[in-house]
Chains A and B, each alone.
Chain A
Amino acid sequence: MAASVRMDLGDIQGDILRAYGNDYDCTTYAFMKIECPPEQARAWFTGVVDHVTTAAPWPPGEKPLTTLNVSVTARGLRALGVSEEVVGSFSREFRDGMSSRSALLGDVGPSDPKSWEPGLGSGDAHILLTINAQRTSDHERALGKMKAAMDAAGGLRIVYQADTELLPGSREHFGYADGFAQPAIEGTSDDKARGGGVPLKDGEWRALAPGEFILGYPDEDTRVDPKKRLPNAPAAPLGRSGTYMVWRKLYQDVALWRRVMRDAAKLYEGGDEHTLSAKVVGRWTNGAPLVKYPDKAPASFDPQTPGGNDFRYDKDKDGMRCPLGAHIRRSNPRDALGFEGHLSFRHRMIRRGMPYGKVLPEGVTADDGEDRGLVFVSFQASISRQFEGVQVQWLNAGNIFGLGHDKDFLLGDPHGTGKMTIPGKPPFFLSPQEVFVRTRGGEYLFVPGMTALAALADGTAG
């Protein structure tokens, strides 16, 4: 096994390897368009870069009140004056952008980029500033500062802004604890290897190579290379300590979800809506996994406690506990595809999503017209292999799991069979699959490392 790698945390932006997590309640995502010449934009960018939060650990008790992180689209690189040649060294899907991949991603019908919110997917989004704050007051101050700097510089415009806030108990809008199942990374989160890493034959696990998530480090392909070659990355210095970011605003139709689950449960064993919904996710609302707790949710369960994510599917091959089509089993099949995880461990991602919008009060099944959902954020070394691989091959297609044209029920793309099979005696066919989730916009971005940010600001990135 490769010796554990030391990460240059001071060169990597914060919130990628380790979550800011519940330390910050509010996150604002501000997409900017550069409407001025590159030199002028870089002068402003220099001021931004000075305030970027890195992954270096905070001294005890010195957690900043707010954090700032920066990412860029391919057009953003050009607007900062980066040459075509260097832009060409980035991955094709990043250069093409998320909206050009809509057919592949299943962003069709109501999720078609044509009906996305203005500013997203149109080529206007150049730079994304992500601001986290502990409290609303800090948040407003940080936003005010950002806007003042923009106005002073001139030639910059916010084309889209999303304000998000953690919901009580880290729930997403359908009511499930979310965001805690994350890949275990060598040199960073080795202690989370059980359940988070690669499931080995002997029942052990190992953490993933850091290059799966941060460019400039060995990945699962090169970790054993005797010549110590590194994976493909954009031209230096941009290719070091950076990562690709997927940003998607996913509207959740909570009232529709509740109505469908309520009505379907009338035909399900004992009319148990709670269990039926859990079968769709693969976890109970408090996060307890069905493979470990098949009959009912444990009264108290904290998914963050050690071992909370430590499970496999080997004792549940037919999905009697956790359906083969459950959201978490599709999005990370762990050992379920056999071959010691070889078919799944290159398709992992770090998720840093945040819910937006107000909670629909419990029990309400009529839509209140509010905009609510999930700002889905993932970090990975390859958007096509990791995010798109999961979205396209696992969530939107069922072949690899023996599920034919069944699509992930939770995401609600009805163009497959329109049902989900819940194994049981007899099995239950959950339907109709309605459009529970709609894509309202999104971008593929690149999160440069600190050295790379400085080079972008100086105009020396090539």
Chain B
Amino acid sequence: MRRTRSSTVASPNVSGQAYAFMAMTPVRPGEEKPLADYLRGLRDRGPSPLAKLPRTHIGRFVIVPDFHHDPTWKQRREEHLDLNYLIFTSNFDGDLDSYLDELCERLAPEAKEIWGRCVGCPESAKGAALKRYLEHNQIKTGMFFAAYGQATVGAVKSSLRQRDKLIEFAIRAQAMEPDALQKAFLSEFDAVR
């Protein structure tokens, strides 16, 4: 039996178990500056709202005001965007469906300030309506490479803790004789085995 291509090729949005989501939404005229100010101010207003989505590896909001013209390109004419565009990208663990559910519920207050300023965003800017809006504006990821795509956020954090422990051990152990070193290593890291 011939296998269809789609059943053997993974989604281009997926690397390991990680998913790369991108949505691009036009910003309503007049809302460019309030949106930029709001996003810029996030840092001063405490922890990132994306912390409410602990499956997130890295998320990013970018406003694209226009096309960039590299003077070294020999373009015949310059092209411009009619509207500013908001790009939201997020790399996270697991599937998109449940991630968007979580986002549209937990980020409702922020979503109103963010996508609520974009063309076509439903009035309520939350729940199923927001989810449909984001799905509609999703741009398929052409190529996604996650350097450690099998590792969940939890696994990454625990590895970093191990690393800190190892560094601390290496500093402490560098004066030890081989026997003592082996003993100390086993007592420190035996549980890892």
Q: How far is the CA of A224 from the CA of B74 in the complex (A)?
A: 12
Q: Is A36 an interface residue (CB 8 A)?
A: no
A429 touches B72 (CB 8 A): no
B71 touches A222 (CB 8 A): yes
Q: How far is the CA of A339 from the CA of B76 in the complex (A)?
A: 30
Q: Is A96 an interface residue (CB 8 A)?
A: no
Q: Is B81 an interface residue (CB 8 A)?
A: no
Q: Is B170 an interface residue (CB 8 A)?
A: yes
B171 touches A431 (CB 8 A): yes
Mark A209-244 against chain B: 1 for CB-CB distance below 8 A, else 0.
Answer: 000000000000010111101000000000000000
A417 touches B167 (CB 8 A): yes
Closest 9 CB pairs of A and B: A225-B71, A429-B171, A431-B171, A417-B167, A267-B175, A429-B170, A419-B171, A224-B72, A429-B174
User: Which residue of A has the minimal Cβ distance to B175?
Assistant: A267
User: Which residue of B has the minimal Cβ distance to A222?
Assistant: B71
Q: What are 11 pairs between A and B in contact, CB < 8 Å? A: A222-B71, A225-B71, A227-B71, A229-B71, A404-B163, A426-B174, A428-B174, A429-B170, A429-B171, A429-B174, A431-B171
Residues on the B chain within 8 Å of A426, using CB: 174
| Residues in chain B within 8 A of chain A (CB atoms) | 71-72, 163-164, 167, 170-171, 174-175
Q: How far is the CA of A222 from the CA of B71 in the complex (A)?
A: 8
A contact residues, range: 10 to 19
Q: How far is the CA of A148 from the CA of B175 in the complex (A)?
A: 63
Residues on the A chain within 8 Å of B167, using CB: 417, 419, 429
| Residues in chain A within 8 A of chain B (CB atoms) | 222, 224-227, 229, 267, 404, 417, 419, 426, 428-429, 431
Q: How far is the CA of A428 from the CA of B167 in the complex (A)?
A: 12
Beyond the given pairs A226-B72, A429-B174, 19 more chain A to chain B contacts, judged by CB atoms under 8 angstroms and listed by A's residue number, are A222-B71, A224-B71, A224-B72, A225-B72, A227-B71, A229-B71, A267-B174, A267-B175, A404-B163, A417-B164, A417-B167, A419-B167, A419-B171, A426-B174, A428-B174, A429-B167, A429-B170, A429-B171, A431-B171
Q: How far is the CA of A417 from the CA of B175 in the complex (A)?
A: 19
Q: How far is the CA of A229 from the CA of B167 in the complex (A)?
A: 50
B71 touches A226 (CB 8 A): yes
How many Å from the CB of A83 to the closest CB on chain B?
21
Residues on the B chain within 8 Å of A429, using CB: 167, 170-171, 174
How many Å from the CB of A48 to the closest CB on chain B?
38
Q: How far is the CA of A236 from the CA of B82 in the complex (A)?
A: 31
How many Å from the CB of A92 to the closest CB on chain B?
11
Residues on the A chain within 8 Å of B170, using CB: 429
How many Å from the CB of B147 to the closest CB on chain A?
12
Q: How far is the CA of A224 from the CA of B71 in the complex (A)?
A: 8
Residues on the B chain within 8 Å of A225, using CB: 71-72
Residues on the B chain within 8 Å of A431, using CB: 171
Q: How far is the CA of A227 from the CA of B75 in the complex (A)?
A: 13
Residues on the A chain within 8 Å of B72, using CB: 224-226
Residues on the B chain within 8 Å of A428, using CB: 174
User: Which residue of B has the minimal Cβ distance to A226?
Assistant: B71
Residues on the B chain within 8 Å of A222, using CB: 71
Q: How far is the CA of A426 from the CA of B176 in the complex (A)?
A: 13
Residues on the A chain within 8 Å of B164, using CB: 417
Q: How far is the CA of A267 from the CA of B176 in the complex (A)?
A: 10
Residues on the A chain within 8 Å of B71, using CB: 222, 224-227, 229
How many Å from the CB of B100 to the closest CB on chain A?
30
Q: How far is the CA of A229 from the CA of B72 in the complex (A)?
A: 12
User: Which residue of B has the minimal Cβ distance to A406?
Assistant: B167
Q: How far is the CA of A283 from the CA of B19 in the complex (A)?
A: 46
How many Å from the CB of A408 to the closest CB on chain B?
17
User: Which residue of B has the minimal Cβ distance to A266?
Assistant: B175
Q: How far is the CA of A429 from the CA of B71 in the complex (A)?
A: 48
Q: How far is the CA of A346 from the CA of B85 in the complex (A)?
A: 28
Q: How far is the CA of A227 from the CA of B74 in the complex (A)?
A: 11
Residues on the A chain within 8 Å of B163, using CB: 404
Q: How far is the CA of A225 from the CA of B72 in the complex (A)?
A: 6
How many Å from the CB of B18 to the closest CB on chain A?
19
Q: How far is the CA of A426 from the CA of B173 in the complex (A)?
A: 12
How many Å from the CB of A239 to the closest CB on chain B?
19
User: Which residue of B has the minimal Cβ distance to A431?
Assistant: B171
User: Which residue of B has the minimal Cβ distance to A228?
Assistant: B71
Q: How far is the CA of A428 from the CA of B173 in the complex (A)?
A: 11
User: Which residue of A has the minimal Cβ distance to B167?
Assistant: A417
Q: How far is the CA of A229 from the CA of B171 in the complex (A)?
A: 53
Q: How far is the CA of A404 from the CA of B164 in the complex (A)?
A: 10
